[in-house]
Amino acid sequence: MTNHEQGLTNHEVTICLAGGAVLGPYNATWSQNEGGDVRELVREYDAFLQGEKQQRFKFHLHDTYTQTVHTLILDFEQVTGICDHVRLRSQAPGG
């Protein structure tokens, strides 16, 4: 595994909307060098649920495996939940 691949976390994001609609799942990859907004989406929504005013409406989810970007424009008033499924990289014993 290259150094670039070691820093990646692979997310599968699903967004549930009021009324029962579902957006996704969207594959998204995040690293310190190549991001996108997958982590910020979850943080912003969590802050909204805790009473903070929504600051952002547009989020970009980068999928480096398919070389695509998903752009989501969301009104958190209409979002009932966000599932961020993260695939962790397995480590060999002693590594």
Condensed to tens digits (0 to 9), the pLDDT of residues 18-64 reads 999 999 999 998 777 666 788 899 999 999 999 999 999 999 998 87
Least confident of 2-11, 24-33, 35-44, 70-79: 2-11
In terms of C-beta density within 10 A (0-12 exposed, 13-18 middle, 19 or more buried), how is residue 9 classed?
Answer: middle
Q: Say which residue, 4 or 61, is predicted with more confidence.
A: 61
Supply 65's token pair.
């495996």
Domain boundaries, the chain: 3-87
DSSP string, 7-53: T-EEEEEEEEETTS-EEEEEEEEE-SSS--SHHHHHHHHHHHHTTPP
